[in-house]
Structure 1
Amino acid sequence: MAEETLMSAALARSQSFHTFNTPQNSTNKSGNNLECRVCEDGFSLGGDKVPRLLFCGHTLCHACLLRLPTHDNNIHCPFDRQPTPIGASGVWGLKKNFALLELLERLSLSRSDAVLLPEVLVQQKELGISCDEDEDHLAVLYCTVCASHLCLECSERTHATRTLHKHKRIPLSEKPREKPRCVDHSFHPVEFVCLEEECQAAPLMCFICKDYKHTKHKHVLLEQEAERIRSTISAAIQHIKRVAQELTDSAHKLESVARQLEGPAPETAALEMSAGGTAEEARARVKQYFAQLRDQLTRQESQAMTVLDAHIRERLCSIRQQQEDMTTLLSQTYLRDWLMSPHRSNS
C-alpha cells in the first residue's frame, strides 16, 4: 500500500522518469535544483538525503529508499518497477551517485565563494580600497579572473551573466600578492625563473628577458619555482619540528632522570612522605656497606686483641715459670757450692 502511494505521488508530480527536476519548473528546498523525484527534497552530500543509485539507473534519496518495501531482498523502483537486490546491509549497501555528489559539491563551493558573513565584509571595508566599478564604494571582493576590486553590489551586477558568474571571487584580505615587476622591463611582470648557475644572482625575468637576455637557458614558471621553494621550506620546517620534538623528549627524559637522581624537593617529599632519589639511596647503601665493614673490623679487632692478650698471658706465665725454675736452679747451685766449699769441710 505504501509502495503504491509513493509511486502514484511520484507519477502525479511529473510524467518524466528523470532523477531531478529542471530549473524552469521547480525550486527545491535546498536551492540547488537537484532533488529526489519522490519526496521533492533536495539531495545533500550526506545524511538521509544522500543520493543512491538503483540498478535501473534512477536515483532516490536514502530516506525514500528506507520507506520502500522489500520483497525477497529486492527493492522495486517506484518509476519502472525494476527490482534492485539488497544485501544484509540493506539500503546502506547501495552505491551513491558520485557524479551527482560531485556536482553538489561544486555548487556548494561556488556559493561559499560568493557568500560572505557580515563581520567578514566589515573587515574587508576596513582595508579602504575603492571599488573599480564605482569609486564611491569600498571594495570587499577580489575577482581572480578579472583582477578587479569590487563591492558586493557591483560584483553581483557585473558578474550576473552566465560566463562571468563562474569567476572566482574571494575576500579582499585573501587577495594573492601581485607578481613583481621585471628589473629591466618595469611594465612587464616577472613570469619565469632562470635555472642556470650564472644567473642565480638575478634569476627572475619577464617574457622579453626570456627570449633575449636568457636565450636557450633552462627556466620554469614563477609559480612552479615558488611552489618548489614552499615545499622545500615546508619539508625543512617539518624536519625542524621533528628534531625539536625529539630534543624536547630527550630534555624531558634527562629531567626525569635528574629528578630520579636528586629526588623530590624537601617540601614535596614532606607532603608525599616519599624517600629520596636514587643518588640518596646509593649514598645510603655506601654508608651501610662501610658501616658493616667498620662493625666487622671492630669485631675482628676485638677478637685479635683477645687472642693477643691470651698469647701474652701465656708467654708471661711461661717466662715467669722459667724465671722461677732458673732461680731455684741457681739457689741449688749456690747451696751445693757452699756445702762443698773447703771452709765448710775444715769447720
Structure 2
Amino acid sequence: MEITEEQRRRAEANRLAALEKRKRVADLSNADSWKLSKCPRLRGPATVEPGVPQLSPFRAVLEVCSPDEFSVTPEPLEGCCFPGEAECLRIIENSVLSVVPFQPMLSQGGRMTSVFKLSEYDVVLRCIKKLAVVQLQEIPYTTRLVAEKFSQSVGIRWVPCMEGHYSEEQVDELLQKLPKSLRDALLPFQIEGVRFALRRGGRCLIADEMGLGKTIQAISVACCFSDEGPILIVCPAVLRHSWAEELEHWLPTLVPKDIHLVFGHQDSLDYLERHPKVVVISYKMLSRLRKTMSERNWSLMIVDESHNVRCTKKHIESEETKSILELATKVKHIILLSGTPSLSR
C-alpha cells in the first residue's frame, strides 16, 4: 500500500522531533554537575475531609474493681479536648468487641466505665495498646498478682490462698467466742464483714460508709482473738471515750480497769502495775510513746480513721505514720477502719 506525500511529511517530522528530544536528554545527562535540575513539586499539607471527625487523645485508666474483675475508665488528658466518655468507650469497644464481650456501665461515682474479667486482662490490654489515641494507665503488676490470688477464693466457698488465712471451719469456731448479745446484734452484712476479716487472719481494711457499723465489726474481730493477748486501739483523740464505751457495751467481760485510755505521758504503760487488756491511744500520743508501745506484745491492733495514715511532707504526720507502720510489722492481727479510704500520695 503506497503512502501519500502528506503522510510521508508527517512521518519525517515525527522522526526529526524524536531525534531532537533524544539529543536534549543526552545533553542534559552530560551537563556540568553544578547545574540544577528542576525541583519536584512539594506536596502540600493533607486536607481534612469535611464531616470526618478527628480523634482526640484520652487516658484509659485500668483498675481492679472486684476480686475477679477490672474496669476501664476514660479520663481527659491535660491540654487535649476530651471527646466524652461515651465516645471514648465506643473507641475502646471497637477494638475489643471481636475478642471479649463489652458492656458499658455506670460506676458508683456516676462515671461511664466498662468491666472485664481479670482473666481477660492481657487480651484487653493488647487490644487497647493498638489504639494510637489512647494513653494507658495500667494496673500495677504486684496489684494484679494479689488480685489474681484472691480471685481464686471467689465463689460459693472460701478457699484459703495465703499463709495466715483461716478456713470456713476455723472461722466458725472463732465466731463461737462472741457473746450472744453481740452475735445477735450483728446485721447480716456485718457478720459477713467479720467473716471477711477472720478468713484473712484478722488483717484487713473495713471501709463501710459512716453509720454502717465498722466499730462493732472491729470489736467482734478483736473479741475472737482476745485470748491471744492485749489489744491496741489507735484512733483520733476525740474518739477515745467513744471506743471505751463501745467496748464496755459489747464485751460484758471487760470491766473499766481492763480498758486503759492514754491521754498523756503520765498514762504511759511503764507506770502501770498490770498490763490492761485493751489500750486506747491517739495518733499523736502513739508517736510520742512510740518506744514504750512498740516494746509490748500486742495480739491485735485496730486503727480507726486509718486514712490518717498517709505519706505527707508534714513532720508530725510522718512520725505518726512511722509509728503505725512499726507496730503493724510486729502485730499479727490488724484491722484498719475508714469510711473514706484513699490512696497514699
More strand by share: 2
Using the size of structure 1 for normalisation, the TM-score is 0.25
**Highest CA radius of gyration, 1 or 2?**
1
Using the size of structure 2 for normalisation, the TM-score is 0.26
More helix by share: 1
